[in-house]
Amino acid sequence: MEDKTKYEMEFPIQVSPSLLYQYISTPSGLSEWYADNVNSRGEYYTFIWSQSEERAKLLSKKSPERIKFRWDEDEDEEFYFEMRIQVDEITKDVSLMITDFAEEDEVEEGKLLWENMISNLKQILGSS
């Protein structure tokens, strides 16, 4: 079993949770910021970038809170990536919580990648 490190990130996003959920849970929403194109067939999602294609299995989905995937290459492992919407009960501030895994020497690179992708998402949503 490979050893990967779990990491979590929080991104405040000024947008309604239901709109944000559309962007993290639907192929069309994910195609706008996460990958060049996303297709789904049943519980499998295919993420397409200019030079590559990766397939992930949908592990769980709870509207309008979270979605969790496992890459095919991690099929026999406990690794996954999850996008979870968190709303502060008092302030009603919305945050997108990311949980992901990477090899120890790739954690910083993974975080940078998420920061860039979430930055794209915020631009699309018109959120600061």
Asked whether residue 1 carries a pLDDT value surpassing 70, the answer given is no
Region of 17 on the Ramachandran plot (φ > 0 left; ψ -120 to 50 alpha; else beta) = alpha
Cβ neighbours for 40, distance < 8 A, ≥ 6 positions apart: 27, 46, 58
pTM value > 0.85:
yes
- The confidence band for 74, taking pLDDT boundaries of 50, 70 and 90, is confident
Residue 76: the pLDDT is 81
Q: Please give the backbone phi and psi of residue 55, each rounded to the nearest 5 degrees, phi first.
A: -110, 140
Contact 69, 52 (CB under 8 A): no
CATH class given for the domain over 5-125: alpha beta
Query: For position 61, what pLDDT does the model report?
Result: 96
- How confident is the model over 9-54, as pLDDT tens digits? 999 999 999 999 999 999 999 999 999 999 999 999 999 999 899 9
Question: Residue by residue, what is the 3-state secondary structure of 9-30?
Answer: EEEECCCCHHHHHHHHHCHHHH
Given a contact cutoff of 8 angstroms between Cβ atoms, the answer to whether 1 and 77 are in contact is yes
